[in-house]
Amino acid sequence: MPPATRYAYATRLNGFRAHAASAHPGRNRLTVVDLMASAASVPGLSAIDLNYPDHLEGVTVADVRRALGDLGLALNGFAMRYYSEASFKAGAFTHPDQAVRRRAIDLTRRGLDSLAEAGGRLMTLWLGQDGFDYSFQADYDRLWDWTAEAIVEVCRHNPAIDVSLEYKPNEPRAFALLPDLGATLLMAADINAANLGVTLDFAHVLYAGEMPAQAASLAHRRSRLLGVHLNDGYGKRDDGLIAASVHPIQTLELLYVLDRIGYGNAIYFDTFPDATGLDPVAECAANISAVEALAGVLDRLRNDAALARAIAAQDAAASQRIIQNALYGGQ
């Protein structure tokens, strides 16, 4: 039996390509099933996400379902990746060529079909290739309309599957079309689909200049908060560091708000052990232990009347002392 954890935890599979030679000796090419097996060795991990289409290359959906059952893992969802043709670098939903936009939409629809066949119900769209790099490069209204029309078609393809928009300020484009929560909520409002919502990535939120807990509160207030990607960083780029390693108090406040709004989906670790050669199993275990420890702190704060009074009075000195005491001890 897997150890009991506070949340359902999922993780980024590509990180498990690090240390692949020691984890899978003699293997020249790893399949997604190999990566899933490595992830399943992390104590407390209960789910995984798959990238579409790249994680389905060389395996069938039946292979994936069988491996999930054998490994005791759940499928958190799919994340679309528009790498299958070079032209998508100039935009998938925003490409100036209608034929390319159609191929991107059709690829996404096939992803939804595979997701449904695999038994999943959450498709995450990160539209990093949809944006612009120069002044006078793009008609902004046209890019917006093309993207909205594409997402409408995606949402209508299978209303039983939730579609979630993950925003990021830039990379690979200099300016993403959906760079922050405000733009993402505006897009969601324009589309107004019942199965559409928002995914927050902690590092993306930081370098969009936002406070993670406030972003979660607003996403819940104006849309549906469908996904939370935990990691950490220094607010300059998508560092993908271990959760709560740089911003423990901001991570705790995010969990505090998630508890208040009743968030019930998985916590997904979008971290990059492969970027610096960390052992991916140990790194993922560190992510889980950090969140579990903060969940224990949250238990002590949930009904803390003094904290409630400090927040109501906007008394930061009082609230910080309470948080410091809960985290670090002392008086």
What does the DSSP assignment read for 190-248?
Answer: HH--TTEEEEEEHHHHHHTT--HHHHHHHHHHHS-EEEEEE-B--SSS---BPTTSS-H
| Edge-to-edge strand ranges of the sheet holding 162-166 | 9-11, 267-269, 225-230, 196-201, 162-166, 122-126, 74-80, 47-52
- What is residue 29's predicted lDDT score, i.e. its pLDDT? 79
Q: Are 123 and 169 in contact (CB under 8 A)?
A: no
pLDDT at residue 106, as a whole number: 98
pLDDT for position 1: 41
Q: How many Å apart are CA 207 and CA 309, to the nearest integer?
A: 31
Could you give the count of Cα atoms lying within 13 Å of 300 in the half-sphere of its Cβ? Answer: 13
Hunting for tokens 């299978």 — which residue is that?
A: 158
202 HSE (CA, 13 A, CB side): 30
Listed as ranges, residues in the chain with pLDDT below 70 are: 1-3, 21, 28, 330-331
Residue 330 has a pLDDT of 65
pLDDT at 22: 74
Instruction: Return phi, psi of residue 205, to 5°.
Output: -60, -45
Q: Name the CATH architecture for the domain at 9-301.
A: Alpha-Beta Barrel (3.20)
- Rounded (10°) angle between helices 181-191 and 140-157: 60
Strands 162-166 and 267-269: unpaired
- C-alpha 47/C-alpha 321 separation (Å) is 36
CB 49 within 8 A of CB 84: no
Give tens-digit pLDDT for 140-191: 999 999 999 999 999 999 999 999 999 999 999 999 999 999 999 999 999 9
Return the SS3 of 295.
helix
Interhelix angle 212-222/181-191, nearest 10 degrees: 10
DSSP assignments along 129-181, one per residue: TSEESSTTS--HHHHHHHHHHHHHHHHHH-TTSEEEEE--S-SSSSEESS-SH
Whether 273 and 18 have beta carbons less than 8 Å apart is answered as yes
Enter the tokens of residue 268.
């997904």
Report which of 36, 73, 77 is spatially closest to residue 226, judged by C-alpha positions: 77
What residues does 322 pair with on adjacent strands?
none
The pLDDT value recorded for residue 25 is 77
The tokens for 41 are 């060795």
- Residue identified by tokens 């370098």 is 207
Residue 113 contacts residue 102 (beta carbons within 8 Å): no
